[in-house]
Amino acid sequence: MKLSDDEIAQRLAGLPGWQREDHFIRKRFGFASFPDAIAFVNEVAEIAERRNHHPFISIDYKYVTLRFTTWHAGGLTDEDFDEAQEIESLYASKTAT
């Protein structure tokens, strides 16, 4: 079910660095090297396949931008935010010192 603007704002508050762009949420992730960025994308792909919910992925050298929306709902849903949260956890595990 498509989320309201208030629900989207609440969910975004729990996802640091994620921004709303029309009917998408997006975030740019930085890495130490191109191979690190590609490894991250491969792990995102595994999450997306398991969840059957696939982001738009853009790779720019050491940076990966992900965008989510739910086309069949006509906008953002809990699925977009739940998957973004899972990816946040993955990224945190990669960048923890």
The pLDDT of residue 5 is above 90 = yes
In CATH, 5-95 is 3.30.1360.20: yes
Report whether pLDDT(63) > 90.
yes
pTM of this structure: 0.93
Read off the pLDDT band of 96 (50, 70, 90). Answer: low
Q: Which long-range contacts (CB under 8 A, 24 or more apart) does 72-78 make?
A: 73/1, 73/2, 74/2, 74/23, 75/2, 75/3, 75/23, 76/2, 76/3, 76/8, 76/20, 76/23, 76/24, 76/25, 77/1, 77/2, 77/3, 78/1, 78/3, 78/11
Where residue 94 falls among pLDDT bands split at 50, 70, 90?
confident
